[in-house]
């Protein structure tokens, strides 16, 4: 679809609230395509924009490709509108954590990312339905969801804010008592967090799911039994396998988790409050993503 895509129409869904506000993405995109053959349309997301409004914009645009300009949250919005269709979704990473862009090898450089969005190859990937929410990256309960809750309430974003939130979470978060039903088996255990993983890594670069593959028939469940910062660093910086006493990994198509007390819950970087039940199921070939 590379060269044949020259007459394509590209619709850019821009989240003006993304990133560090230093770049005017709408202007930069318009400038980039000034001399290009593709027709473009730019839609800046208003505050609290409904899915219906985004769907309507996509339908009316008759675009061949729809490109999400923002972080994982913006991508999730676009994916929810295009789930089950063949319209390819491009990504211009402009958020504070661009987990899915990193996962797919999309350049963080704006010009290079625009080239990929216009000329890259579309491929089908699976997603996960988690408590009725579309998850294209990672969802979890416990420690990390609590970090996201703390991080969202801090004035300083970026790595310092993240470290602060993690430090607060480490002192305030309690172990969860959980029951997991997976592949007909029931596991009762204590855990610091449980990750429902479509992708392999968090936006911060921590590789939590070394066995992840966006094109296979499964998603992964990572059961982190202890607060093992070393375990996670080990996975990030070396090829050593997990210590099964501390972290267990399962492949599955569906799953049910029940917790004794309500626990913190997040999907694709968005904190969604406290739950005591999580149901997840695979959505095969759910969306079409443009990658390099």
Q: Are strands 65-70 and 39-44 parallel, antiparallel or unpaired?
A: unpaired
Question: Which DSSP string do the residues of 230-278 spell out, in sequence order?
Answer: HHHHHHHHS-PPP-TTTEEEEEESEEEEEEEEEEEEEETTEEEEEEEEE
pTM reported for the whole predicted model: 0.85
Each residue's pLDDT tens digit, 20-53: 667 889 999 999 999 888 999 999 999 888 899 9
**What would the pLDDT profile of 100-110 be if each residue is shown by its tens digit?**
998 899 999 99
Instruction: Flag whether pLDDT at 135 surpasses 60.
Output: yes
Where is average pLDDT lowest: 113-117, 217-221, 246-250? 246-250
In this predicted structure, the answer to whether residue 162 has a pLDDT above a threshold of 90 is no
Q: Read off the pLDDT of residues 4-21 as tens digits, 9 standing for 90 and up.
A: 455 689 999 999 877 666
Predicted pLDDT at 4 = 44
Is residue 278 within 8 A of residue 257, CB to CB? The reply is yes
Listed range (43-52, 195-204, 282-291) with the worst mean pLDDT: 195-204
Nearest to 188, CA basis, from 204, 199, 176? 176
Tokens of 39: 């027709």
pLDDT at 7: 63
What span, in angstroms and rounded, lies between the C-alpha atoms of 286 and 290? 14
pLDDT tier, 230 (very low <50, low <70, confident <90, very high otherwise):
low
pLDDT of 172 over the 70 cut: no
Residues 51-77 pLDDT 10s:
999 999 999 999 999 999 998 889 999
Q: How far apart are CA 246 and CA 54, in angstroms?
A: 43
């Amino acid at each position: 679809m590379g060269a044949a895509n020259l007459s394509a129409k590209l619709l850019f869904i821009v989240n003006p609230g993304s990133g560090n506000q230093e770049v005017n993405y709408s202007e930069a995109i318009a400038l980039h395509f000034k001399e290009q053959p593709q027709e473009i349309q730019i839609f800046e997301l208003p505050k609290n924009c409904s899915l219906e409004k985004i769907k309507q914009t996509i339908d009316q645009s008759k675009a061949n490709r729809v490109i999400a300009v923002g972080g994982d949250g913006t991508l999730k919005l676009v994916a929810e509108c295009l789930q089950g269709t063949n319209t390819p979704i491009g990504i211009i990473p402009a958020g504070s954590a661009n987990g899915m862009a990193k996962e797919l090898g999309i350049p963080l450089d704006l010009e290079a990312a625009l080239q990929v969005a216009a000329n890259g190859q579309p491929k089908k990937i699976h997603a996960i339905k988690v408590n009725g929410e579309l998850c294209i990256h990672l969802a979890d309960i416990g420690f990390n969801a609590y970090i996201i809750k703390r991080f969202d309430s801090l004035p300083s974003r970026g790595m310092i804010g993240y470290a602060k939130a993690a430090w607060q979470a480490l002192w305030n978060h309690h172990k969860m008592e959980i029951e997991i039903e997976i592949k007909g088996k029931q596991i009762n255990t204590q855990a610091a967090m449980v990750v429902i993983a479509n992708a392999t890594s968090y936006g911060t670069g921590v590789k939590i799911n070394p066995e992840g593959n966006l094109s296979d028939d499964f998603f992964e469940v990572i059961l982190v039994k202890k607060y093992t910062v070393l375990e996670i660093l080990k996975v990030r910086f070396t090829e050593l396998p997990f210590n099964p006493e501390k972290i267990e990994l399962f492949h599955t198509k569906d799953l049910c988790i029940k917790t004794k007390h309500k626990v913190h819950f997040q999907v694709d970087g968005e904190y969604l409050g406290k739950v005591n039940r999580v149901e997840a199921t695979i959505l095969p070939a759910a969306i079409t993503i443009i990658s390099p």
